[in-house]
Amino acid sequence: MASIRISDLSKIYPGPRPVRALDQVDLDVAEGEFIALLGPSGCGKSTLLNILAGFEPLTEGSVLFDGERIGKAGPDRGVVFQEAALFPWLTVFENVTFGPRVQGVSKNVYDAAAREILALVGLADFAGSYPSQLSGGMRQRVGIARVLVMKPRALLMDEPFGALDAQTRLTMQELLLEVWQRLKVTVVFVTHDIDEAILLADRVCVMSARPARIARQIPIALERPRSIENLLSPEFSAYKADIMHEMRTAHGQGLVAAE
């Protein structure tokens, strides 16, 4: 059974001239699968992710998560945005444990879980630091740790590395691969970067121009575990050429945001 099942999903924003952002989207995501939603800015990727997160309602169709209709946001679906939005007055450890503390989880439970997650994302030595003392990549690691400590069954990521420099972005991509390889949580990852989508995902879903549909689903058969060395392989280049062609087809002959 699919972990996430999207059927005939449409999203229309009302107004004097209603805008159809999504049009009859169909997508199944298996438990533990890593899916990339790929397309240029404004094509509806984030709208679809926000519906999966329960942040906004759909207009038509249905979305099931583990067989249940999604009605509102919940800790079973952790969301990571482009900006970590940490509490500046709290330490790294306090930021990561904020959710469990608010929910009344025992300190004995969340303390051990938080320290394990901080070690997993390479921040064990920075538990007592404040966000202002961290680099952009480190702050985003805290944001990921803050979500993972809630033990979500799915991780929804909206261009989480988009604001980082190229080198830090590669580092974070490798970190995410390591974390996913260990936890095997279901991931839906929004990006406009073709390289990133191919490197990370089991399947790349190319979205069409608005009103958005899934124009094509491309399984990525590169062996795992993966690393940035995969970017240099002939197989990677072949996937990239195929996806670039698909994006030109789906969005006309305009510029393709490949890098």
Q: What angle do CA 237, 240, 241 make, to 5 degrees?
A: 90
Q: Are 60 and 230 in contact (CB under 8 A)?
A: no
Per residue in 148-162, pLDDT (tens digit) is 999 999 999 999 999
Residue 18 and residue 134: Cα distance in Å, rounded?
43
User: Which candidate, 175, 223, 214, 248, places its Cα nearest to that of 28?
Assistant: 214
The architecture in CATH of the region 31-56+66-76+156-259 reads 3-Layer(aba) Sandwich (3.40)
> Domain residues of the chain, as ranges?
31-56+66-76+156-259, 86-151
What pLDDT shows up at residue 2? 56
What pLDDT shows up at residue 105? 85
Structure tokens belonging to residue 64: 């099931």
Average pLDDT of the residues in 115-135: 95
Name the band, by pLDDT with cuts 50, 70 and 90, for residue 32: very high
In the β-sheet with 203-207, what is the strand arrangement from edge to edge? Answer: 77-80, 154-158, 186-191, 34-38, 203-207, 214-219
> Over 80: is that where the pLDDT of 1 sits?
no
Residue for token digits 């490798």? 174
Average pLDDT of the residues in 47-70: 94
DSSP state of 16: S
Q: Tell me which H or E stretch contains 182.
A: helix 166-183
Average pLDDT of the residues in 162-190: 94
Q: Are 52 and 186 in contact (CB under 8 A)?
A: no
Predicted TM-score of the model (pTM) = 0.92
What pLDDT shows up at residue 252? 67
Length of the chain: 259
Q: Are 247 and 194 in contact (CB under 8 A)?
A: yes
What pLDDT shows up at residue 249? 85
Residue 75 and residue 167: Cα distance in Å, rounded?
31
What pLDDT shows up at residue 65? 94
What pLDDT shows up at residue 75? 86
In percent, the amount of the chain with pLDDT more than 90 equals 80
The mean of the pLDDT values for the chain is 92
